[in-house]
Chains A and B, each alone.
Chain A
Amino acid sequence: SQQGEEDPQALSIQEGENATMNCSYKTSINNLQWYRQNSGRGLVHLILIRSNEREKHSGRLRVTLDTSKKSSSLLITASRAADTASYFCATRERGSTLGRLYFGRGTQLTVWP
């Protein structure tokens, strides 16, 4: 399967702690994206990192990419109860011209007040 794999499947932390989620993939990529999904809703795009980038920040989010290991991590700092959601990584294959993304199975993050 070309699907990415997130690790862990579920993560439970207290407010104020940092949350780290990992994603591994199999093919050469053009970019890797992280999405968030609140319960019963659609996915929302969080951040995109290109294959020639190693780290990217957006507010409390920090994403790293290691193309040699075919892996990425998403760090949420100083987590809040409102960060409770499922988080998915998605990859765009190198050379793809049709815009298709391959999604992982997601990490369910629960942040307790």
Chain B
Amino acid sequence: DVKVTQSSRYLVKRTGEKVFLECVQDMDHENMFWYRQDPGLGLRLIYFSYDVKMKEKGDIPEGYSVSREKKERFSLILESASTNQTSMYLCASSPPGTGEGQPQHFGDGTRLSIL
């Protein structure tokens, strides 16, 4: 089974801090994704990556950056954390986008609180 592991289940940081959220997958998937999930808003895509060192902006990239130096690891960076970035962050991975039927495999999420 595919395993997507997020480094922390819960994280508390202060405004202005630089925050790193780490995600590792063990299935050699090309695609990796970062979402945030807020009540009533569903999942919103922040960034995704379809190859090492490649990245694409999602719908809400402002205030975030990403890093993918190795295929199995995708990091989300909050450059200067703000209280409106308090949320549940979900990482996912999937095989390449070509062809049909590429379900995404999710980690258990990081609940981040910015004080």
Give A contacts to B, CB under 8 Å: 3, 30-31, 33, 40-45, 48, 50, 88, 90, 92, 96-101, 103-106
Contacts and interface: CB of A to CB of B under 8 A. Distances in A.
Nearest to B6: A42
B31 A104 contact: no
Contacts of A100: 33, 45, 48, 58, 97
- Most chain B beta-carbon neighbours within 10 Å: one of A30, A88, A100: A100
B56 interface: yes
B98 to A, nearest CB: 6
B101 A31 contact: yes
Given A41-B109, A98-B48, A98-B50, A104 B102 contact: no
Contacts of A3: 42
Given A99-B50, A99-B95, A100-B97, A48 B103 contact: yes
23 contacts: A40-B108, A40-B111, A41-B108, A42-B90, A42-B107, A44-B106, A50-B101, A88-B43, A90-B104, A92-B102, A97-B98, A98-B50, A98-B56, A99-B50, A99-B97, A100-B58, A100-B97, A101-B104, A103-B43, A105-B40, A105-B41, A105-B42, A106-B42
A99 B96 contact: yes
Interface string B82-95: 00000000101011
Nearest to B2: A45
Contacts of B106: 42-44
- Most chain B beta-carbon neighbours within 10 Å: one of A50, A90, A103: A103
A86 to B, nearest CB: 9
A99 B100 contact: no
A49 B68 CA distance: 31
Nearest to B54: A98
B35 to A, nearest CB: 8
